[in-house]
Structure 1
């Protein structure tokens, strides 16, 4: 049975190489969930795992002709693509988190000795509230917001830096700001 499924998957890849969308849908129905499970296990994030699976199947659509059945089974090739994409994404996220943390440290501005003590206290309190609210956000949203607001990067620059689509960056920023507003309004 396993051999049948593998040869059937190999046939689907041949059909996908000829731009058969139905074959891609069948392959996705068969391996979408297991691929997601593998990506989630590596990344620990629903959003990132979903993006990896979409990237993998997009790559399969574009490069199915490069699959060589003499080198590996179709499912092995697909899971290898998923694992590689997940590890690449994990490395990018880890670098981004380290960069964002460094930016946060650099962005700490000492209070002016000329300002009123009450004003200083209010600024410090609000800064602590914003920092606490930022920490409550999912890492993907927090990183996008920090790159945009602390580093002044555009959405396109953030997309390039993170290796994700610009639309994804905009969505993460929009969702993150919405959650920040909600978190901050609860604290006031």
Structure 2
């Protein structure tokens, strides 16, 4: 008797719902290369595609208990999750690129004071370094709020996130930025 791949996948999901790490490893080995290829096709970045795959399997680990075999197959569910994470990562990448351009443009104004130019340049580097230390999720919501002027509700709608999640990410991200920037001392 051979096991159908779909029923085997479903049994893996049931075991993952019970926090079975071996089942997770099996599902990961089975689907990670394909999900990576799907993400890479859109993102064109090895690092970002790897992050998407990790995010997908982290979500599977958290939500396997809610999987309903009557509604979809496991592979379809995995591809839907991958698409969602890939698009979110793509939006983050695009926003980060836009933010870098805005920061560069806003801080590139040359003054007549060379010392002031150096301080502005150092501060710009510090801000960019502080932003780079944030998680991609925190950076994304902060950039949407501060560079695009979106409200918390608008961000939640755009990113399809609960409002509380958006507010928490902004609060934590701003706190980390404040700490990073308050420790900055001009040379």
Q: TM-score, normalised by structure 2?
A: 0.63
- Shift, 1:27, TM fit: 0.2
Conservation of the 8 A alpha-carbon contact between 2:131 and 2:139: no
Q: Tell me the distance in 2 between the aligned counterparts of 1:147 and 1:24.
A: 41
Q: CA deviation at 1:47?
A: 0.2
* 1:118-133 equivalent positions in 2, closer than 5 A: none
Native 8 Å contact 1:43 1:90 kept in 2? yes
In the alignment, the residues of structure 2 paired with residue 34 and residue 154 of structure 1 have an alpha-carbon distance, to the nearest angstrom, of: 29
Pairing 1:37-186 to 2, within 5 Å after superposition? 37-112=37-112, 148-150=126-128, 153=131, 155-156=133-134, 160-162=138-140
CA shift for structure 1 position 152:
5.1
> Root-mean-square deviation (CA), in Å?
3.0
Q: 1:154 to 1:32 in 2, by over 3 A?
A: closer
Give the alignment's TM-score, normalised by structure 1: 0.63
4+ residue runs over 6 A deviation: none
Deviation per residue, 1:9-47 (Å, 9 max, x gap): 011000000111110000001001001001111111000
Change in Cα spacing, 1:147 to 1:161, as seen in structure 2 (3 Å) is farther
User: What are the ranges of 5 or more consecutive residues in structure 2 without an aligned counterpart?
Assistant: 142-168, 174-187
- Which whole-Å CA distance do the structure 1 matches of 2:15 and 2:90 have between them? 32
Please identify the structure whose Cα radius of gyration is greater.
1
- The gaps in structure 1 that reach 5 residues or longer are 128-145, 167-188
Give the number of aligned pairs: 135
Q: Find the counterpart in structure 2 of residue 26 from structure 1.
A: 26
